[in-house]
Structure 1
C-alpha cells in the first residue's frame, strides 16, 4: 500500500468520502495496492476504441497522475490526455466520448487535464457520458466537456478537496521506538508521520486545501458557465440525476447507450 500512500498522503486529493474511508482502512490495515486499485491488467492495445466515428475514452475508477500499470480500478491522467490528443488528430474520429464512472482521485494533474479538454472544445464534439457517477476529480474532468449526460440514478458533484496526515508517534512510543529527526528548515518535517502535527502546520495545510478548493470552484464555474457562488454553495455534496442538472452540473438524463446514440446524431 506504500506506493499508493505516496500518491495520497500529505497531498491534496479529490475523492468521495466513501473512497477516502476505504483508503484510510487500507493505510491502517497495511493493505496492498490491489485492495484499493483492483487487479493489475495488461495495457490496452490502442488508446481508445472507435465506434462509428466516436472515440471512446474511459475515465473510470480512481484517477492517478502520470502513466503506469494498468489497473482494473484506476485510470491515469496522462493516458486520458494522450488519448484525447490522438483522437483530435485522428481523421477516423468525428467526436469524442469520455465514458465516466469514477469517485475521483488526486488533484495532481487533474486541473491540467481538465484544462486541455476545455481548450479542445470546438475542434470536435466532446461529451462526458456518465456510466454511473462523476465525483470530485472525475467531475472536474467531466465538467470540461461540451455536454454532460447522467443516468437517472447516476451522480455528479463532490466539488471539494481534502488532505490526510498520518501521525504514528503514539504507535512508535507504544512499541518502544524513538525517532530522532535532524532537519534544516523549521517546516521541513511538518508533514512527516513521525512528527506530531502542530497548530501552525495544521493551519498551513488547511490553507493549501482551501486554495485548491477555490481553484476547483473556479474551474467548474468556468467550464459549466455558472456562478462560483452556486458551485461553492454545493459544499462538496453529491447530487443524483436531475438534481445535478437543476444546479447546472449536467445537461441531460440519459443512459450511456442513449447518449452514444444522441452523439451519433449530433
Structure 2
C-alpha cells in the first residue's frame, strides 16, 4: 500500500511539474513574440545578409561538444536551459564554413570572461588563424582581457581595449591546495598507497607544500604552456619574446594606454569599434552594420553527401572516469565502452576519432574502456584527439590508438596510480566523543574501512594491488606505443607532460586538433565521400532537462553561491568519494 501511494503521488507531482513547464514555455513564447523589451543591439541581425560580420562573444566555458538546447527556437526561453558552455565542435564548424561564405566579411570577437583550457583555446585560435587565410578580417574588443582571453584574440588583425579597461599580463601561475595540517587538526588520518615519485595527486594529504619532484614537473609544464603562448603572440603582434617577458616581469601594463602600440592597437569605446568595423566593410556612419550573433549563424553545407555515405564516428570522452554509466561531466566506463563497441560493429562507420578530455579516474574503469579501444582497433582505424587533459586514466584509454594528436599545451602523461583510505577513528573519538566497536567473521573483514588504521600486512596487501595496476598500466602503454616497459617507466612514475614535450618522448604522434585527427582518420580509412557522426547520442533535450539528477541540480546551486570557492569545495568532495585504485591527476590544478 505504501508503495502504491508513493508511485501515485510521484505520478501526480510529475504531471503537475510537466504542466507548469508547459505553461511557462507558452507564456515565454507569447512574451518573446509580442511583448517585452527588445534587448538586441540595433546593429544585430537574425540571419546572414550581404556584408555581414559575425559577432563571437567569448564568455563562459568552452566545452568539447555543445549540448542541445530544448528552448533554442523559443526566443527568450533559450536562456532557460543550462547550455553548459560554448561547444568547440560547433565553433570550429561555423568558422570553417564562414571562411567560404561570401556573405561573411569578417569576425568580431567580443571578449568577456572565458573559462577554457589552454588546448581548447589553442584549437579555436588555430581555426581563427585559418579563417584569416581567406583574406577576411578579425577585430577584437574587450573591457578586460585576461591572459587566456588575450592569447586567443592575439590572432586578430586589430585588438581594441576600453580606455578605462584592463589587460592582465604577468605570466602564468599554478596553485595546489594541501590538506595535511587541516586533517591533522580534525584528527583524520589519510592512508596513502601509490606508485610514482611524480604522482602528486597524493601530496595534498602527506605534505604542506610541493615536493621537489612535483615542483620540477610543475615548472616544466607551466613554462612549456607559457612559451607556446609567447611564441604565437610574438609572431602575430610582432613583439619579441624577450620584450613580452620583460613586460610581464616589470608589470609594465598598468593602464590601457601602456598596452597601446604593443599588445593592443587602440584604447577606444565599443561604439568607436563599431565605427571602425563600418569603415572596414564600407558602410556609412549613419547606416546600420550587419552584425550577426554567432549562435544565430546557420551556414548551409556546400558539400553534398550521399545519404548512404560511409561515416567517421567522433566519440567524446569528457570528464573523470568511473564505473557505470557516468553523467554529464563524467565518463562512465559502461557507457563509453558500449558506444565504442557500437561504432566497431557498425559497418557504415569506417574509422573512429576518440576525443579525450579527462584527468583520469578509476584505473579499473579505464581498463574496461581500453579493452574496447583495442578491439575496435582490430576492425578499423582508431585515432585519438586530446583536448585540455588526457592524463593518467585519460592517457590509459588513449594509448592503444593507431595515432594520437595533442595540442602543444595539452596536459598528458601522468602514468602512475594511487589509492586513499581515510581513517576517521580519532576524529570521531576525540572531536565528537563517538566510539565504534566492530564484529568481524575473519581477521581482516573490515580492511579498507574508514574506522581504523591498516596493519603492516594489510598495507602490503593494498600496496601490492597498486603495484600490480601500475605494472599493467605501463604494459598497456608499452604495447600501444611500441616501447619497452622500462622506457615507459622512465617517463612514467606519475610525471605530467605537455603535448609538445610528450611528442619528444613518443607519448603522442603529432601536434594538432580535432580537425587534424578527423582528416587523418579519413585518409587512413581511404574515404572521399563521408559523413561525420557524433557519439554517444545525446539525450533528447527534454529528457536531459527533466532527468537532471538531484545531485547535479544541487551542484549548480552550490556553484552559483560559492563562486570561485566552488573549485575548493569540489576538490574536497572528490577526496571523500575516492574508491578503489586511481589513475588520475591531482584533484585540481589551478593555472592562471
TM-score range, shorter chain: 0.7 to 0.9
Higher-Rg member (1/2): 2
Q: Return the offset for 1:153.
A: 0.7
- TM-score (norm: length of structure 2): 0.36
Number of the residue aligned with 1:261? 519
Number of the residue aligned with 1:224? 481
Q: Return the offset for 1:227.
A: 0.6
**CA distance 1:11–1:169, shift in 2 (3 Å):** same
Taking the TM superposition and a 5 Å limit, the aligned residue runs for 1:89-128 are 89-128=345-384
Matched residue SS, 1:191: coil
Number of the residue aligned with 2:315? 57
Number of the residue aligned with 1:156? 412
What are the Cα deviations for residues 106-160 of structure 1, in whole angstroms up to 9, with x where unaligned? 0123223212211322411110111222111111110011110000111321111
1:149 & 1:245 partners in 2: Cα distance? 9
Taking the TM superposition and a 5 Å limit, the aligned residue runs for 1:1-150 are 17=200, 53-68=311-326, 70-71=327-328, 73-150=329-406
Q: Return the offset for 1:75.
A: 1.1
Number of the residue aligned with 1:193? 450
Q: Return the offset for 1:201.
A: 1.9
1:20 & 1:116 partners in 2: Cα distance? 33
1:236 & 1:110 partners in 2: Cα distance? 16
Please say if residues 63 and 104 of structure 1, whose CA atoms lie closer than 8 Å, have aligned partners that are also in contact.
Answer: yes
Matched residue SS, 1:94: strand
1:200 & 1:209 partners in 2: Cα distance? 14
1:137 & 1:13 partners in 2: Cα distance? 14
Number of the residue aligned with 1:37? none
Please say if residues 384 and 517 of structure 2, whose CA atoms lie closer than 8 Å, have aligned partners that are also in contact.
Answer: no
**CA distance 1:147–1:226, shift in 2 (3 Å):** same
**CA distance 1:17–1:256, shift in 2 (3 Å):** farther
2:353 & 2:481 partners in 1: Cα distance? 17
What are the Cα deviations for residues 23-46 of structure 1, in whole angstroms up to 9, with x where unaligned? xxxxxxxxxxxxxxxxxxxxxxxx
Q: Which moved more, 1:129-138 or 1:116-125?
A: 116-125
Q: Which moved more, 1:189-198 or 1:146-155?
A: 189-198
Larger relative helix fraction: 2
Number of the residue aligned with 1:242? 500
1:221 & 1:87 partners in 2: Cα distance? 26
Please say if residues 155 and 244 of structure 1, whose CA atoms lie closer than 8 Å, have aligned partners that are also in contact.
Answer: no
Q: Return the offset for 1:17.
A: 4.5
Question: Is 1:203 equivalent to 2:444 in the alignment?
Answer: no
- TM-score (norm: length of structure 1): 0.78
2:195 & 2:344 partners in 1: Cα distance? 29
2:323 & 2:193 partners in 1: Cα distance? 12
Q: CA RMSD in A?
A: 2.7
What are the Cα deviations for residues 27-68 of structure 1, in whole angstroms up to 9, with x where unaligned? xxxxxxxxxxxxxxxxxxxxxxxx972111111110111225
**CA distance 1:163–1:156, shift in 2 (3 Å):** same
Matched residue SS, 2:356: strand
Answer 1 or 2: higher relative contact order, Cα 8 Å, separation at least 6: 1
2:193 & 2:394 partners in 1: Cα distance? 17
Q: Which residues of structure 2 form unaligned runs of 5+?
A: 1-190, 206-308, 525-592
2:459 & 2:499 partners in 1: Cα distance? 36
Please say if residues 389 and 411 of structure 2, whose CA atoms lie closer than 8 Å, have aligned partners that are also in contact.
Answer: yes
What are the Cα deviations for residues 185-207 of structure 1, in whole angstroms up to 9, with x where unaligned? 11111211112222222222111
Please say if residues 12 and 212 of structure 1, whose CA atoms lie closer than 8 Å, have aligned partners that are also in contact.
Answer: no
**CA distance 1:59–1:169, shift in 2 (3 Å):** same
**CA distance 1:65–1:228, shift in 2 (3 Å):** same
**CA distance 1:134–1:52, shift in 2 (3 Å):** farther
Please say if residues 59 and 75 of structure 1, whose CA atoms lie closer than 8 Å, have aligned partners that are also in contact.
Answer: yes
